[in-house]
């Protein structure tokens, strides 16, 4: 596996991350996905990056309290100073092993200099 192209991490969904329906807050899911995009972009660039845009995010199925989520982020396109990163959030029921793609989204990450201005990728 090319670590510079893909990053993964897992997290459990606890009650404080959920709404009154017992499902993961959308904002919490976006936070996790943004972190995953940041990790993948930074591993690729090996320099500071920031999020410039979140693109379409599709919430396909609810993620419930007690499920494990695995985030998989892939750098899909590299420009002069920006990268497009796709993030998949899989929900897994630990007791059965059932796993489903719950959320998919895209993010634009930009390499920045010490003043926070876009800079060419090395």
pLDDT tens, position by position, 68-117 = 999 999 999 999 999 999 999 999 999 999 999 999 999 999 999 999 99
Residue 117 maps to a domain: no
pLDDT band at 122 (very low <50, low <70, confident <90, very high): confident
What's the total number of domains in the chain? 1
Domain residues for the domain of 84 are: 6-111
Read off φ and ψ for residue 112, nearest 5 degrees.
-130, 155
For residue 41, count CB atoms less than 10 angstroms from its CB and return exposed for 0-12, middle for 13-18, buried for 19 or more: buried
pLDDT of residue 1: 42
pTM of the shown model:
0.93
Is 53 domain-assigned? yes
Per-residue confidence (pLDDT) for residue 30, from 0 to 100: 97
Please name which of 87, 48, 89, 50 lies closest in space to residue 67, comparing C-alpha atoms: 89
91: β partners? 69, 100
**What CATH number is associated with residue 59?**
3.10.129.10
pLDDT grade, residue 4 (50/70/90)? low
Let me know if residue 105 belongs to a domain.
yes
Overall residue count recorded for the chain in this entry: 122
Cα 42 to Cα 78: distance, rounded to the nearest angstrom: 12
Per the structure block, which two tokens stand in for 11? 């997290």
* Confidence check: pLDDT of 44 > 50: yes
Residues 56-69 have a mean pLDDT of: 98
91 falls within a domain: yes
Contact indicator for 70, 92 with CB cutoff of 8 Å: yes
């Amino acid at each position: 596996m090319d670590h510079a192209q893909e990053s993964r991490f897992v997290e459990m969904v606890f009650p404080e991350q959920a709404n009154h329906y017992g499902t993961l807050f959308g904002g919490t899911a976006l936070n996790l996905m943004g972190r995953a995009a940041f990790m993948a972009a930074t591993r690729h660039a090996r320099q500071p990056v920031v999020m410039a845009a979140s693109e379409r995010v599709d919430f396909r199925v609810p993620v419930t309290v007690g499920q494990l989520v695995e985030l998989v982020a892939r750098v899909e396109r590299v420009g002069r100073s920006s990268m497009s990163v796709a993030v998949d959030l899989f929900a897994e029921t630990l007791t059965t092993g059932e796993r489903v793609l719950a959320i998919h989204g895209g993010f634009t990450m930009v390499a920045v200099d010490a003043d926070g201005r876009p800079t060419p990728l090395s």
